[in-house]
Amino acid sequence: MDGNVYNETTEPEARRPRRLPLGCTLRHLRGWRLPVKVFQTIFSFVAVVCEELVEECITCSGLYFFEFISCSAFLLSLLILYVYCTDLYESLGEAKVQKLNFWAMLVISACFLLASILFAATCSDPEEIAACVFGFFATSAFAAEFAIELCLRRKKNQNIDGRPEKPSNTQSATEHQPLNKQR
């Protein structure tokens, strides 16, 4: 005996996912999700920067509301991107992350739309107009992800077991059988 308590297994060692700097991975952001998340983050960041360039305003309430919403949307988009790219995704679980993301996209896009409309109604300077434009771009990116997720959820709920649902106007074979056996 060689003194080893455990023998080597015949199973190959699981390949660890390729990680980006700071321990990030993009395996949960496949397909359409990565570009949408990147656009959300960039558009909301540019909206914040453009809004910060405004030196004076006539009606500042729209500007302040837009500032709060755009900054919050940027920080939330970074937080959600962080969750998708780190081990926090597995810790929370896919279902919870998807649910959080779904509702966050709805709330962010609705608030960003409201803030952009209110700010657009009171803006006049080129910096304010640029901030509004990027506010609407960010709103579109958040709303697009919500709409895609909504369509995917509906499709998933329609055919839970992988088969398409039977149309309601077709009759099954049991519907043609008599209710009571005739003797």
- The strand pairing partners of 77, in sequence order, are none
The pLDDT of residue 73 is 95
More confident site: 8 or 165: 8
User: What percentage of the chain has pLDDT greater than the value 90?
Assistant: 44
Say whether pLDDT at 66 is over 60: yes
Q: pLDDT at position 75, please? A: 96
**C-alpha span between 160 and 154 (Å, rounded):** 10
Domain ranges of the chain: 32-155
